[in-house]
Structure 1
Amino acid sequence: MGELRYGSDLIAVAMPDDILAHLQLVVAAKLGAGEGFTVSWRHSDGQGRSTLWLERSIPLRFDFASPHPVATDPRRVRAMLTEAAAVTGVSLGTLPLEAP
C-alpha cells in the first residue's frame, strides 16, 4: 500500500501502488499542462468520502510500497485523464482512511 502525500503537512492518503502509479501519470500530465483537477474516493469504513484539489502550487509526493516500478495501462491512464477533464474529476473508488 503506497501513499499520496498532499499539502504543506504532506498528509498521507493510503492507496494501492497500482492506483498510485496511474494517478502519478495523470497528475504529471495535468499539472504539467497547468491544469488543476479533483481526485475523490470513498472511505473504506463506509462513513464518508474525501476530495482533494490538485494544482501546481500544492506540494505532492508519491510514496510506493514496492521498490519496483508498477506496470501501467495506457487505457486506464486515458480514462483517468478523461475523468480529470470533467467537473467531477477523478474517482478512485474506495480507499482506506488517511493515515494519522
Structure 2
Amino acid sequence: MGLLFYGGNTVPIEIEDRALAHLKVVIAMKLRRNESFTLSWQHPVDEPTGRTTIWLHPSIPLQFVFEAPEPPELSAEWITALANSANTSGGLKMLPEHLQGRS
C-alpha cells in the first residue's frame, strides 16, 4: 500500500502502489505546468461511506511513498484517462484501471 502525504498533514492518504504510481505521473505533469486542480476518491469499503477531495497546488508539499521497491509497469491508457479527468472542471478522479476510459 502506497502513501500520499499532503501539505503539513502527518496522516497519509493510503492508495494502492500501482494506482499511486499512475496518479504520480498525472499529478507531476499538472504541477510541473504550475496548474492547480482537485483530486477526488471514494472511501475504501473498510471506511465510512463517502468521498474526499483535496486541492493540489504547486506550492503545497506533496510526498509519494511506495511499498514496493520497484516501480510498476505503467499503462498509457490509464494515465490518459486520469489526465483527461484532471483536465475537467470536476478535477482528477481516482478511476479504477478497468474503467480507465470512463469518467
Bucket of the pairwise TM-score, normalised by the shorter protein: 0.7 to 0.9
Query: Which deviations, in whole Å up to 9, do the C-alpha atoms of 1:53-80 show, x marking residues without a partner?
Result: 1110110000001011111111111111
Query: Which deviations, in whole Å up to 9, do the C-alpha atoms of 1:15-71 show, x marking residues without a partner?
Result: 100110001000111000111111111112342210011110110000001011111
Question: So what's the TM-score if we normalise by structure 2?
Answer: 0.84
Matched, 1:76 2:78: yes
In structure 1, stretches of 5+ residues that fail to align are 95-100
Overall identity of the aligned pairs, in %:
38
* Residue pair 1:41, 1:51 contacting (<8 A) in 2 also: yes
- Structure 2: distance between partners of 1:85 and 1:93: 14
Higher relative contact order (CA 8 A, sep 6+): 1
- Point out the structure with the larger strand share: 1
Q: CA RMSD in A?
A: 1.5
Structure 1 residues 43-58: aligned runs within 5 Å: 43-44=43-44, 45-58=47-60
Opposite residue 57 of structure 1, the aligned amino acid is S
- Number of matched pairs: 94
Partner of 2:4: 4
Which stretch shifts more, 7-16 or 85-94?
A: 85-94
Partner of 1:35: 35
In structure 2, stretches of 5+ residues that fail to align are 97-103
Question: So what's the TM-score if we normalise by structure 1?
Answer: 0.86
